[in-house]
Structure 1
Amino acid sequence: MPETRITGAGAETAHQGLHSAQGALRGERPGRSRDPVIKVADLAWLEFEKPDLDRAEVFARDFGFFVAARAPDTLWLRGTFAGPPCMVIRRGRASRFIGPAFRAAERADLDRLARLAGSGIRDVDAPGGGTVVDLLDPSGFPVRVVHCAEELPALPEQRPLTLNFGARPSRANAAQRPAREPSRLQRLGHVVLETGVFTRALDWYLDTLGMIVSDFLFLDGQRERGPTMAFIRCDQGSRAVDHHTLALHLGPGTGYVHSAYQVTDLDAIAAGGEYLAERGYRRSWGIGRHIQGSQLFDYWRDPDRFMLEHYADGDLFSHDIEPGWAPMSASGLAQWGPPVTRDFLGADPSPARLREVLRALRGDNELDPARLLGLMKAMTS
């Protein structure tokens, strides 16, 4: 993992290249807290409510989840890697995202958070058990930090194909025939959230959970006003971790954008996508390769219109890497792939979205007419 030789317009960083600036300018905001309360180790799971758990389970299996536990009103989903489950879906009157749960590095972290929040520590009903502290971020998302008692054991993997690379072939007298089957999800990678209080929310995740920024995005002509999107990773010191575990972006709404799940390789993405298409599910955007994070991606909508991503081959950064800075633009979302869709960008007009915009422009948040026009321009640039 290359180390940055620290900040400044001329600094050499891991972020140089397509649609990337060279780093922070003098006086721009840092990407980490000097003294965070704790440092979370990773995402644990995401929590949803849905009225039809049977339909949710059918899609989950088709997308590549495995069922960790099922009760009349609760569905726990997991990947193949050992560890906590990826998702819990509880029966509710309407389909909605509740919030993320992060994994504490040690049990004592829960005590620190409980003292900060003035709340108690309770047992969690997840497979494997454990304890949890309930928090609330500045956007209003319930955020849970959990210490798991036991890891779920690993499940059989989807083996990567053996590939021939030009002058270095490694496969002879054997044909490639990847099965047309669901991608076997390995683990939860990240979640992306929209918020009207971007700066407050970002500071909270850095100060409270000890996360650090991998990349900032800013609006064209508004860099002096600060970033409007941040890709945030966990800080595990010299151990390289996912480029982003959480991404936040400024917008008129407050809610879930998408979540991403790691699979074995490009063939797992493509064959799994064919399987989903054959069953009538809707692709939102893909297949392509991102810029920030570099991962291969493919986005799908579930029957409740939540967006989920298959991904592989993402960047891994240690704590040595300082944030990159780049302009926000639709063309800056991918190195290659089909043009980004309006569905992925959330740019399809609807009465509900218009109401969100009008409320945001009148509310106590960071969205003003200049910011809104800048976001609209970014979606078409």
Structure 2
Amino acid sequence: MTDVSGRHDVHHDLHSEDGALAGEHPGRARNPVVKVRDLAWLEFEKPDLDGAEAFAHAFGFVTSLRLPGELHLRGTLEGPPAVVIRQGRRSRFVGPAFQAASDADLMRVAEHHGVRVTPLPESLGGATVDLIDPSGARVRVVAGQHVLPALPSPVPLPLNRGTRRDRLNATQRPPRAPAAVERLGHVVLQTTRYRAALDWYLENLGLIVSDFLYYEGQRERGPTMSFIRCDRGAEPADHHTLAMTLGPRTRYVHSAYQVADLDVLAAGGEYLADAGYDRSWGIGRHIQGSQIFDYWRDEHGFLVEHFTDGDLFDATLEPGWAPMTASGLAQWGPPATADFLGIAPGRESLEELFSLVTSLRSDNDFDLARLRGLLKVARS
């Protein structure tokens, strides 16, 4: 379906309930400062780099740099490292780095915010402009990084599908081995200041929304989650590079890393299970984004995802709108687990519970009505 503006409505009868109603959020800024190209990398701090590296190798990363207090992890595709981990007293997510389209765009961001362009360490190369989003998170916009050359990557297996016979006189024997990560796909963040944070990313980085979710019965109050992609014009981009959701505290939710195909993902999951790591949820296929997914907890409890076969949208597609439900997180697969939803007994659910009191007493987007909506999501 195509409207008179030439933009396509792929959401009708597909993976969102409908498009926007009159007066709802348009999902993009009219005149953003710049339009970033992609996520460059994610930065973490962890006290145990040896444990972090051991999990990373089991998950399918390759170490591109190891220093006494720093660890860089990469995928097989050409580009910068996907993850940068530095030694810290406690485990924490530091923030994302987004790839500027050019050095000129980096300067434009710096001038707009009245901050300096600063050089990055030689291990990464290039320069950064460091910003703070409305949630208080550090956000880097970077350019000029060293490009790591491509590494060998698994080739998707030939499949016999219906009457199409691509494999003859040969068996399928995918190895039970780490699922070779190809690249960083997206990061999901929770914030108590959802609307301000959403608008900040659209206005400053030129990101555009692919799908909005809202609490059932509260659509008139606006969305509570957004799946946000890079605006590359006619060039397709991942359905979401950043996803943001409203919650009682600001935190990292998960990050996702692409692998070659379902066999690599599934066999890699068996390898992780054999190594003693904990699956959070999977294997299934999402609705928003359509990815085949498998979620795991790393050695410090961070949630990380293997994915394959995600949606790619160009800039013409308008946002879809759908109610937010636990059962609506997947087209097929096991029900979303209490661990994935953050309600399993443990440190994460306790921190979320304790944060409720502070959040409800503070000036932010998370009030009693939103709490009731969130609890309904968990029961759905």
Q: TM tier, shorter chain?
A: over 0.9
Q: Give how far 1:150 is off.
A: 2.9
CA distance in 1, matches of 2:111, 2:267: 48
Number of the residue aligned with 2:292:
296
Q: Would you say 1:176 and 2:175 are equivalent positions? A: no
Q: Would you say 1:219 and 2:215 are equivalent positions? A: yes
Partner of 2:33, secondary structure, is coil
Q: Comparing 14-23 with 341-350, which one deviates more in the overlay?
A: 14-23
Structure 2: gaps of 5 or more residues? none
Partner of 2:375, secondary structure, is helix
Q: Would you say 1:243 and 2:239 are equivalent positions? A: yes
Number of the residue aligned with 2:364:
365
Number of the residue aligned with 2:160:
164
CA distance in 2, matches of 1:6, 1:53: 54
Number of the residue aligned with 2:3:
5
Amino acid aligned to 1:129: G
Q: How many residues align?
A: 376
Structure 1: gaps of 5 or more residues? none
Q: Give how far 1:116 is off.
A: 2.1
Structure 1 outlier segments of 4+, above 3 Å = none
CA distance in 1, matches of 2:211, 2:2: 13
Percent identity, please. Answer: 62
Amino acid aligned to 1:5: D
Amino acid aligned to 1:258: H
Q: Is the 8 A contact 2:80 2:145 kept in 1?
A: no
Instruction: Pick one of 56, 76, 91 that aligns with 1:60.
Output: 56
Number of the residue aligned with 1:356:
355
Q: Would you say 1:100 and 2:89 are equivalent positions? A: no
Amino acid aligned to 2:220: E
**Residue-by-residue CA offset, 1:101-151 (whole Å, 9 max, x unaligned):** 000000011111111222211111264511111000000110001003431
Number of the residue aligned with 2:204:
208
Q: Would you say 1:150 and 2:149 are equivalent positions? A: no
Are residues 175 and 351 of structure 1, via their aligned partners in 2, closer, same or farther at CA, if it must alter by over 3 Å? Answer: closer
Give 1:19-38 correspondences, 5 Å limit.
Answer: 20-38=16-34
Number of the residue aligned with 2:224:
228
CA distance in 2, matches of 1:77, 1:42: 17
CA distance in 2, matches of 1:87, 1:193: 16
Number of the residue aligned with 2:112:
116
Q: Give how far 1:380 is off.
A: 1.3
Q: Is the 8 A contact 2:214 2:222 kept in 1?
A: yes
CA distance in 2, matches of 1:128, 1:14: 39
TM-score, with length taken from structure 1: 0.96
Q: Give how far 1:6 is off.
A: 6.6
Amino acid aligned to 2:50: D
Amino acid aligned to 2:294: D
Partner of 1:284, secondary structure, is strand
Instruction: Pick one of 39, 62, 67 that aligns with 2:35.
Output: 39
Q: Is the 8 A contact 2:210 2:318 kept in 1?
A: yes
Q: Would you say 1:270 and 2:300 are equivalent positions? A: no
Q: Give how far 1:352 is off.
A: 2.3
**Residue-by-residue CA offset, 1:175-221 (whole Å, 9 max, x unaligned):** 11001100110000000000000000000000000000000001101
Q: Would you say 1:318 and 2:305 are equivalent positions? A: no
Partner of 1:84, secondary structure, is coil
Q: Give how far 1:14 is off.
A: 1.0
CA distance in 2, matches of 1:126, 1:267: 37
TM-score, with length taken from structure 2: 0.97
Q: Give how far 1:253 is off.
A: 1.1
CA distance in 2, matches of 1:41, 1:6: 28
Q: Give how far 1:83 is off.
A: 0.8
Number of the residue aligned with 1:375:
374
Q: Is the 8 A contact 1:262 1:311 kept in 2?
A: yes
CA distance in 2, matches of 1:269, 1:94: 30
